[in-house]
Amino acid sequence: MPISRFFEELPLLEDNKDKQVGICLMGPIGAGDNIVWMSGWAWQQDGDTIAASTGDSGTAVKGARPLRPKDKPPFKAPKKQWMVQTGFRKGSAKFNPKLPVLVQVIALIEIGDERAIVQWGQAVKIEHAY
């Protein structure tokens, strides 16, 4: 089974005017994994203030830096990590870098002849903009 996890610190996505547009979900690729596609979510709630973003692998968030070939699926060796840019949902607040963010992905993963939908999530910290 794949080692499905996120890096413990994830970068904010910002546009060329340093305005938050979402968060970049990333993590290591498990040995032998071929991640065919992924969808990701990030959210943070502080009282009545809610920040939420979503995205799909291979799709750049409007205003964020363009995706490079290594940022697009499939994610497998020799690539070292997977990545999903997530953009704010309508009405979302900005992420507060001082607070943790809950993140989750669902992915189609192939290992040899086997295919499975895998889901994982965890709390992460926000780091510098990406």
Question: pLDDT value at position 45?
Answer: 96
Q: SS3 sequence, 3-55?
A: CCCCCCEEEEEECCCCCEEEEEEEEECCCCCEEEEEEEEEEEEECCEEEEEEE
d(C-alpha 67, C-alpha 60), whole Å:
6
Question: pLDDT value at position 90?
Answer: 96
DSSP-derived secondary structure letter, 69: G
Q: Hey, what are 111's tokens?
A: 């290992």
The total of other beta-carbon atoms located within 10 Å of residue 64's CB is: 21
Q: Helix, strand or coil for residue 117?
A: strand
The tens place of each residue's pLDDT in the chain, 130 residues long, gives 456 789 999 999 999 898 999 999 999 998 889 999 999 999 999 999 999 999 999 999 999 999 999 999 999 989 999 999 999 999 999 999 999 999 999 999 999 899 999 999 999 999 876 5
- Burial per residue of 21-56, b for 16 or more beta-carbon CB atoms within 10 angstroms, e otherwise: bbbbbbbbbbeebbbeebbbbbbbeeeeeebbbbbe
Question: pLDDT value at position 1?
Answer: 47
Do residues 3 and 51 lie in contact, with contact meaning Cβ atoms separated by under 8 Å? no
